[in-house]
Structure 1
Amino acid sequence: MNASQVMKAVKQWFKLSNYDVLEEITVDDLSYEISRRVALHKYDFGNEEHPRHERHLEEEAKIMAGHPLLASSTEKLPPSAKKKNPLTDSKLHVRHMTINDISRYEARLRELNLLQRTSLLPDAPSTPVSKDAGIRRLTDIDTFDPGHPLYFWLNIRLVTDEEVVEHIKRMLPQWRKEYDVGEPDIGSFRFGLSNVKKVINMRIIPMLDLLFWAKRNDVKISYEQFSRLLYPNDSEIIRGGAQIKDTDKPFAEKVLTREFDRLFNLWLSKNDYMMDTKVANAMKMNEKEEDEKKEAK
């Protein structure tokens, strides 16, 4: 497609005003809208056997139909129907062991000849093959990698929440040193209300949808075309192609990273009162913070 054909094709589905609804959803929902787009941008649509293939196609169809809300709604939903963001990552990485976990691990220990039946009966209990085998830690058995978590004993009846947090804080550096597992670096930039405001004011979600459409159609949208689409002539704000290139698109690319998603989630975990706050209200709160900082100076 040449430049005029690209613009004509884009305008068949893209309308900036459709994205006004993003200010009416909650900050939690905004984080989820971003995470869905991250998944779309990374997904290989040639993999039709993927269990979420149909979901990705449905979300793509929504974008192409001019409906930017992929996973949220402006309607009031009952609490049970709402996604609660702070526990999303927590339950992925810190959770109870299940019967399935124990069953799989028992099978693994049998393969390694570390467990044996006390008799030939099928329901006979399992015991370690020796005293030495019995005191080995699970991380001594398998390679400690993303597929094999660090299991540890925690009795919440005997210790307070503060003690649990303090003990784990002290042990984590020792465990990381022992297993040569450094802490993931996700804190290269600060996350706060200003980032929420930038996502809206810099029109990042509509830009992500334009980038997604271009990728799916194997075409390129120039920086000047982005400027015309995201900041039309009747817009109160005008940003040229140079600003799109130097500021807006690099920030959009940052939004597509796992780092941004984790920092957004971590920020919501620490500020869970913001979860059900409308994006429009959150932006006003940020403006108030900025005014107070200016007055303090």
Structure 2
Amino acid sequence: MDTVQIYKELQAWFDYDNYVDVESCTLKGLHKELQVRKNILDSIEFFGEGDVYFNQILAGKPLISKTFDSNTHLTESQTHIRQVTFGHIESLKRSLEMFSQESFVKGSDQLTKEVKEQPLTQSMRAVFMRTNESRVYTHFDLENSSDEEIIGSLRALLPVWRKEYGINSRKQEAFGLGKILKLVDYRILPMIDLLMWAKLKDVSLSNTILSRLLYPKLTDEVRGDEQLKDTDRPIAAKAMSGETCKNIESFINKNRHLSDLSVSQLRELT
């Protein structure tokens, strides 16, 4: 596909005006937008196609957060702590059956005494030859423990668990409102959509094409090829990797009072 054809196809669905309402998105909403796009990208990479949300973007309705229930967002969006489902347990049991049949009493589906007494995660890491499983399955007693007691126990146990499993703590970059607002100012959401479309079509988008599409009006303060190359595309790449989504999640967890403020309201705080 040559440049002229690429540009024609992009003009058929992409309109920057569809993104201007991002200023009214809440901080939780902006986080949701990035979450959705990471899922779309995973679908493209694994299945060679988008999903229902990508179809919505291509239909000219790219602000997904306008249609979801923000009241459930906090519990559903957490990356680092999630409640264990029966599906998780079922999956772990299947893995034991496939890779470590000696974990069961011969001729039955009962776990051996030794396996029953092992911490779940340590057992699964052994099954996968210590290459795959880095999650720790645990439980909190909400009724008989205060929040401070649970948090205190986690603080005490985390270094112990990391030593046992040989997994060092992930370094987290400094991340604040300034970087969040740059996602909007540098038009990262529409850039991600353009780059996802290019990945789906297996074509390359030059910085020149991106600049023309993202800054279509003569009154725009245009960010040119060098700015896109050195700053904007690397920011988009980090967002597409899921790293920015994690950073915003962490920021929201530390600043819950800001989570329902819109982008325009957040600007007033800087």
TM-score after normalising by structure 2:
0.79
Change (3 A) 1:174 1:203: same
Instruction: Tell me if the contact between 1:85 and 1:268 (Cα under 8 Å) persists in the aligned partners.
Output: no
Separation of aligned partners in 2, 1:231 and 1:136: 58
* The one of 67, 70, 83 aligned to 1:95: 83
Separation of aligned partners in 2, 1:273 and 1:259: 23
* The one of 58, 63, 70 aligned to 1:64: 58
Q: Which moved more, 1:151-160 or 1:200-209?
A: 151-160
Separation of aligned partners in 1, 2:252 and 2:104: 44
Separation of aligned partners in 2, 1:100 and 1:213: 33
Instruction: Tell me if the contact between 2:28 and 2:70 (Cα under 8 Å) persists in the aligned partners.
Output: no
Instruction: Tell me if the contact between 2:44 and 2:200 (Cα under 8 Å) persists in the aligned partners.
Output: no
Larger radius of gyration: 1
Aligned residues: 264
Encode CA deviations 1:97-131: one digit per residue, 9 max, x unaligned. Answer: 759839976x9699546779xxxxxxxxx8975xx
Change (3 A) 1:229 1:149: closer
Deviation at 1:16, TM superposition (A): 1.3
Q: In the alignment, residue 235 of structure 2 is paired with which amino acid?
A: F
More helix by share: 2
Q: In the alignment, residue 281 of structure 1 is paired with which amino acid?
A: Q
Counterpart of 2:66? 73
Separation of aligned partners in 2, 1:158 and 1:84: 25
Q: In the alignment, residue 24 of structure 1 is paired with which amino acid?
A: S
Describe the SS at the equivalent of 2:47.
coil
Separation of aligned partners in 1, 2:134 and 2:223: 48
Change (3 A) 1:5 1:47: closer
Q: Could you tell me the percent identity over the aligned residues? A: 27
Deviation at 1:197, TM superposition (A): 1.0
Counterpart of 1:10? 10
Separation of aligned partners in 1, 2:190 and 2:117: 56
Instruction: Tell me if the contact between 1:28 and 1:84 (Cα under 8 Å) persists in the aligned partners.
Output: no
Separation of aligned partners in 2, 1:97 and 1:4: 50
Describe the SS at the equivalent of 1:171.
helix
RMSD: 3.7
Counterpart of 1:190? 174
Counterpart of 1:40? 40
Change (3 A) 1:45 1:102: closer
Describe the SS at the equivalent of 1:216.
helix
Deviation at 1:30, TM superposition (A): 1.4
Instruction: Tell me if the contact between 1:87 and 1:269 (Cα under 8 Å) persists in the aligned partners.
Output: no
Separation of aligned partners in 1, 2:190 and 2:158: 41
Instruction: Tell me if the contact between 2:78 and 2:249 (Cα under 8 Å) persists in the aligned partners.
Output: no
- Trace 1:234-245 onto structure 2 (pairs within 5 A): 234-245=218-229
Change (3 A) 1:176 1:206: same
Give the gaps of 5 or more residues in structure 1. Answer: 117-125, 290-297
Encode CA deviations 1:231-286: one digit per residue, 9 max, x unaligned. Answer: 2342331221111111111111111122211111111111122222122222232x
* The one of 189, 194, 217 aligned to 1:210: 194
Counterpart of 1:121? none
Encode CA deviations 1:214-234: one digit per residue, 9 max, x unaligned. Answer: 222233222122222212342
Change (3 A) 1:208 1:89: closer
- Trace 1:46-195 onto structure 2 (pairs within 5 A): 47=47, 56-69=50-63, 71-73=64-66, 81-82=69-70, 84-88=72-76, 90=78, 93-95=81-83, 101=89, 112=102, 136-139=118-121, 141-143=123-125, 147=133, 149-152=135-138, 154-185=140-171, 187=172, 189-195=173-179
TM-score after normalising by structure 1:
0.72
